[in-house]
Amino acid sequence: MPELLNRRRLDQPRQPRRLTVTYDPESFGRFSERLARFFGTGKYLFWQTVVVLLWVAVNLSAFSFHWDPYPFILLNLLFSTQAAYAAPLILLAQNRQDDRDRIALEEDRKRAAQTKADTEFLARELAALRLAIGEVATRDYLRSELERLRSDISAANGKRKRKGGSRPRAETIREDARWDDAEPHPAESR
């Protein structure tokens, strides 16, 4: 069976018969923003003032060539038309800027929430490390415990010596190189 024409196929939507105008809303928005920015410049105000002054001067001074007599109705119509188009374009540009600001604000909130979560995590980790370090035996604690043990051993040796024991004396332990470090023992510094 020969291929049916596009307009006769039932499995495809019909093409619209009317004239449709398509436009890209993003490019139209960019155009409106550029136009709104231009309306807010001194350059625009200067050139508009020049055009208005020339319009008025030509229509007042030219006897045979004035297309818009004194009440300047045509000039007022042009200003009204310009305002009718400028106001919605400016509002469109402001709406687009509000949308960008809203997105930026949401990103800032997310970033701030993530930063806060990271800071709280680091604070918890730091507190855990402080607790862990508080439970770790320090050098001074170990030195005092060893000194206490040495004094206990020397006291035990003194009792044993009186009884006749043969254990090493506390002076021998104190002179052992394994117990030496840069700082003097607390008992020796007294």
Q: Are 148 and 170 in contact (CB under 8 A)?
A: no
For 36, residues 6+ apart whose C-beta sits below 8 A from its C-beta are 86, 89, 90, 92, 93, 94
| DSSP letter for each residue of 89-109 | HHHHHHHHHHHHHHHHHHHHH
| Residue 164 binned pLDDT confidence (cut-offs 50, 70, 90) | low
pLDDT for 138 equals 77
Which run of H or E residues covers position 159?
helix 139-163
Q: For the residues 16-23, what does the mean pLDDT come to?
A: 76
pLDDT for 12 equals 79
Q: Are 29 and 90 in contact (CB under 8 A)?
A: no
Q: Which among 141, 155, 144, 129 has a CA at the least distance from the CA of 185?
A: 144
61 alpha-carbon distance from chain centroid = 62
| Residue 111 binned pLDDT confidence (cut-offs 50, 70, 90) | very high
Question: What does the alpha-carbon distance between residue 170 and residue 154 come to, in Å, rounded to a whole number?
Answer: 5
Tell me, what DSSP letter sits at residue 149?
H
Q: For the residues 141-153, what does the mean pLDDT come to?
A: 90
pLDDT for 150 equals 92
pLDDT for 190 equals 45
Q: For the residues 122-148, what does the mean pLDDT come to?
A: 86
pLDDT for 58 equals 85
Question: What does the alpha-carbon distance between residue 144 and residue 190 come to, in Å, rounded to a whole number?
Answer: 14
85 alpha-carbon distance from chain centroid = 37
pLDDT for 46-97, tens place per residue?
999 999 998 888 888 877 777 888 888 898 999 999 989 888 888 888 999 9
72: left (phi over 0), alpha (psi -120 to 50) or beta: left
